[in-house]
Amino acid sequence: MRQPDIEIYLKDADHHAITGWLSEAIGPCSPWQQKGQTYKCTAGSIPVTWLPKAVGKWHSLVLDSDATPWADDLTCANAAFAALNVEVRCAPGSWEEEESIEQADRWMRISSDGVEEITWHTS
């Protein structure tokens, strides 16, 4: 099932590197607009939000659309790792507010070691 939006976390990347990848994967990126700590642009017709150091050293990338080339966070995370060669993390599926804390700490890690499920305490 296609997710309503995509959110992944990248380590050691910046929004300029993301621009090249998104431009190739989705469509041309508009210039980034900074508002406080957040950066926003549009890739093709998809609204994009970049939040540097959202969780420690990890940067959040949100694609606010269900019309991305990827059906879910994990597919996008794999594509990001392949394009950028940086470790990427994402939720294993859609996350619901009602889920337990244990469920919220379940994440997928995509790195040179492959894809594995990990426990990541983000709060």
Count CB atoms within 10 A of the CB of residue 46: 20
Exposure on the CB side of residue 120, measured as CA atoms within 13 A: 17
Q: How far is CA 64 from CA 54, 56, 73, 111, in A?
A: 17, 23, 12, 24
Element (H, E) at 63: strand 58-63
Structure tokens at 34: 């900074």
pTM of the model: 0.90
The pLDDT of residue 34 is 96
The pLDDT of residue 18 is 94
Q: Where are the domains positioned within the chain?
A: 6-119
At 63-111, the pLDDT tens digits run 999 999 999 999 999 999 999 999 999 998 755 555 555 566 889 999 9
